[in-house]
Amino acid sequence: MAKSFTVDTASTTAILTTAEAKQHLKVDTSADDTYIDDLVQAATESAQIFTNRYFTNTTLNQFGDNWSDLSTLFKSPVSSVVHIKYYDSNNTQQTLATSVYQKDLEHQPARIGLKPNQSFPALADRISAVECKYIVGYGAATSDVPTAIKQAVLLTIGNWYENRQEVVIGRIASELPKSAQYLLEQYKVQTV
């Protein structure tokens, strides 16, 4: 059993503007704008990894060697399943009919299963025999992202902006500040 995923279409929407980050940092010059934008992106990516989520709409492809590899989807929150494709016993890629499977998008992580009296088709003996394309995120706009997540990203940006070296003498270094972890913990999704 092997599962993996790729980003098919990444979100181009930052959850915070440069101005919001600068206001939090109390920075009133434009000298560090590029650096601050990079911190916004890096802190957002770190928070997404910590929570096992994408915050703004992103399209993913999840691959597996067998049908059970799609029973849980890796990332949350899932807003829709675009399609499920598979390689049949002749090693020809097919699209699985929506009449065969059901999806539970309210559950986190989201789940895929069979509808009553249905069965999954036979698969080719190959790696990545099944693929599910789905959309994750709270929405397309930054206003769709919960405030606690934005605040956690701001706290991380503030920590990284003030402590630019990997190790700061007299302080314990961590990827995400404890206060940010506390805010993000309620959004953390566990997958097996």
Give the C-alpha separation, 153 to 39, whole Å: 9
Give per-residue pLDDT as tens, 70-115: 999 999 999 999 999 999 999 999 999 999 999 999 999 999 999 9
- Cβ neighbours of residue 84 closer than 8 Å, sequence gap 6 or more: 70, 95, 96, 101, 112, 130, 131, 132, 133
pTM, 2 dp: 0.87
- Cβ neighbours of residue 17 closer than 8 Å, sequence gap 6 or more: 142
Half-sphere exposure of 59 (CA within 13 A, CB side): 7
pLDDT bucket at 163, cuts 50 / 70 / 90 = confident
* Residue 101 DSSP class: E
DSSP SS3 for 24: helix
pLDDT bucket at 23, cuts 50 / 70 / 90 = very high
pLDDT at 172: 47
Percentage of the residues of the chain whose pLDDT score is greater than 70: 93
pLDDT at 192: 60
pLDDT bucket at 175, cuts 50 / 70 / 90 = confident
Q: Retrieve residue 13's tokens.
A: 């929407």
